[in-house]
Structure 1
């Protein structure tokens, strides 16, 4: 059962869970109506067996009680009818959603397999379309890549890439279906990303390497209070270019019982160079995150957490943006930490299986191609927040991919903070309660680098 919260201008709508909750409340109302009616039955019996003395008053009281009993019968009947109807609607919605997801997935896989077979014939038109997009003005390019329909197409292409690759390799369609998204689920986005890595690594690109912490210093913006809102959380995610190279921020809180809890914030891609030299938050890590856990950025956060003294049984919450979102999701999925909460903004998290034991809030703009590259969002147990961030944007003066930029997610976080939807407010309350009442021990920014960076190579091997 999924929870999709659509935020826009401060409004929101939650599917399915709200229907179930309302159905439960209506059933309780019906039970309360029955209990009140039983009490009225007893009162009526008392009146009927009372000694005479005020027959007219007693008769009027009995008539009023009878009207009340009839009204309560109607309340019970209508409440139970509505409760059953809402429960049926919720079940039907879930079944239809699952069926639609399977049907669309199967259709996309079949379409992608066919495209893979026809690749030599259709490569020309695709190259022409791609070239036209590259040659278009920034305004035109943003308009195309900020269209929610285009973003849905990117998700579909991402999900079908594995089928197209297997088709070109000559794998029979029946075996592809068995292995893939609708079968054993061992292909999908990780398979497609692995194919990209297999192509790039012999050329010296997208190579992973060990990562170390090179600097750890107190955060320049020490928080005055524990994070209480989604806006608080997003504002704590480090920006490498503005925070002296920091990619990870860790806040340590001492709780009243003496235990320590940790809030870990993970930043976005810093370097898009596929050569993977020095910076672990790079394109190589983006591909590795799509393949699974074990990217340079993943190892960077692990190194920072080790430096902060976080042990496997310590309670942790993760918050990340863009590449940091996917990295945080992998850390929450790893089982290596006692993860209590996870908040991701604009990350390619769709195919990362986040445990349903983790209080997870996934924020994805419907005009964000980076989030779409994660494929279909399968973490349907999480609270999924969606918004068309660039709906009213003037693309003539907009940065590249405005739907993915931080200002849009800042605005979305503010709208989330103003939401009154139960599932979102409950998730927010749980995230806030994690460190509420704790004493801030430290807020530390961590800079990490790949060991193959020239300055680290010298430290490892000594002067040459």
Structure 2
């Protein structure tokens, strides 16, 4: 729509130049009469101006309607969460504390209800068997609503009157952080979602020939297995620049194991807590030579995008660029001046786990991957969140005609490319692997 407005403005400008040219021509002696042409141009200018004004009003009305719809959706989610919390509290009062404890344990994995150890593969199997469900944009919206209403639900379950819980949610005094804090407080009592110290080791360092160009190449450099990759760009006479790539979740097991990129980091990170994956990334950054003055660009996929966004929002680092793919980071408020974009597939419910999009400093890019639902893979869990789906979206970004998208892509490219093109410059890539200390919570 913005492109259409720009085209209408450009057309109006060209028509006015043509009218001015006619006036100049009429000043030339013996020039033929151009009155009919002038009338036609004036009519065309009037039409173009009406088109421009109409498109502008349409965008304003769409934006207002979108804000109103999002506000209504948030309000309904809050009311629904408050009602659910009330029902949960009623169960506690009349059914005994064991009922609530059993329900919480069931939500966490079912161990307290079944007496069996949690089987994370069961969730993966369910997602694999129901890709049309998890990849449906309606399901994504439902997940966002559930995430948005969790804080009201937990407050009313704790005894806060529903009206007050909804009012607190509406004022922004509660939110995903409230819900995540509650889960992180309850989880360790069930042997789940426990935090621990982390150790980080550099496992590889090598020279690189070129800087990434485009979203596709940036996504390709996001690691897996070894969770963090840091590229150091040096150029004679200039301070070093760094690009930090952060990988996705490595395990969905909520029990404390050796992997920092786990469910504890997912839940706590969405809530804004200082989780293991964020601490490990920052340890790697310090080892790579990044200081609070160093200019840093961050790129992350899935949990890695959430980690990247949290670090970019942290005042301890000089983050100037950010690109995330499928990240649950919509509730992270970024400072002014961070260039880049947050990329989401409409079939991906993972970003919805952070609730509604609250930050608007970063360019928000959404794309429908499977316009024809019949083409959605049936052998993948959450197909809209798969790396191959985001690779296709990254390619679409690189081919985009939107000036907003192209401007942000250029800014991300130039951050590293500017140094890489200078004589005498070097690029060094370091790969880091992190583990939870002693392989357990603490």
TM-score tier after normalising by the smaller chain length:
0.7 to 0.9
> Does residue 391 of the first structure (1) align with residue 412 of the second (2)?
no
Which 5+ residue runs of structure 2 have no aligned equivalent?
92-99, 111-121
Distance in 2 (CA, whole Å) between partners of 1:304 and 1:329 is 16
* Equivalent residue for 2:187, pick from 187, 200, 206: 200
Partner of 1:428: 409
For the pair shown, the structure with the greater C-alpha radius of gyration is: 1
Provide closer, same or farther for how the CA distance between residues 208 and 392 of structure 1 changes in structure 2, counting only shifts above 3 A: same
**8 Å contact kept, 2:180–2:270:** yes
Deviation, structure 1 residue 450: 2.8
Partner of 1:94: 63
**8 Å contact kept, 1:293–1:330:** no
* Equivalent residue for 1:142, pick from 115, 126, 131: 131
Deviation, structure 1 residue 320: 0.5
Distance in 2 (CA, whole Å) between partners of 1:359 and 1:141 is 37
SS of residue in 2 equivalent to 1:436: helix
Where does 1:289-308 land on structure 2 (aligned, <5 Å)?
289-308=269-288
Partner of 1:362: 342
Give the TM-score taking structure 2 as reference length.
Answer: 0.83
Deviation, structure 1 residue 39: 5.4
* Equivalent residue for 1:372, pick from 352, 360, 384: 352
**8 Å contact kept, 2:256–2:439:** no
Partner of 1:188: 175
Provide closer, same or farther for how the CA distance between residues 136 and 261 of structure 1 changes in structure 2, counting only shifts above 3 A: closer
Which 5+ residue runs of structure 1 have no aligned equivalent?
1-14, 48-57, 241-245, 458-464
**8 Å contact kept, 1:361–1:385:** no
Partner of 1:168: 157
Distance in 1 (CA, whole Å) between partners of 2:391 and 2:209 is 19
Count of residues in Structure 1 that have an aligned counterpart in Structure 2: 412
Distance in 1 (CA, whole Å) between partners of 2:25 and 2:346 is 59
> Does residue 270 of the first structure (1) align with residue 250 of the second (2)?
yes
**8 Å contact kept, 2:344–2:367:** yes
Partner of 1:321: 301
SS of residue in 2 equivalent to 1:98: helix
**8 Å contact kept, 1:20–1:90:** no
> Does residue 151 of the first structure (1) align with residue 140 of the second (2)?
yes
Provide closer, same or farther for how the CA distance between residues 423 and 336 of structure 1 changes in structure 2, counting only shifts above 3 A: same
> Does residue 83 of the first structure (1) align with residue 64 of the second (2)?
no
Provide closer, same or farther for how the CA distance between residues 137 and 86 of structure 1 changes in structure 2, counting only shifts above 3 A: closer
Return 270-279 or 385-394, whichever deviates more. Answer: 385-394
Partner of 2:264: 284
Distance in 2 (CA, whole Å) between partners of 1:374 and 1:71 is 55
Distance in 2 (CA, whole Å) between partners of 1:264 and 1:429 is 18
Provide closer, same or farther for how the CA distance between residues 136 and 327 of structure 1 changes in structure 2, counting only shifts above 3 A: closer
Partner of 1:332: 312
> Does residue 218 of the first structure (1) align with residue 208 of the second (2)?
no
Partner of 2:94: none
Provide closer, same or farther for how the CA distance between residues 137 and 279 of structure 1 changes in structure 2, counting only shifts above 3 A: closer
RMSD over aligned Cα, in angstroms?
3.2
Distance in 1 (CA, whole Å) between partners of 2:368 and 2:208 is 28
**8 Å contact kept, 2:83–2:162:** no
SS of residue in 2 equivalent to 1:118: helix
- CA deviation string 1:376-430 (max 9, x = no partner): 223344232222459345655x132222222222222222222222222221111
Distance in 2 (CA, whole Å) between partners of 1:436 and 1:98 is 38
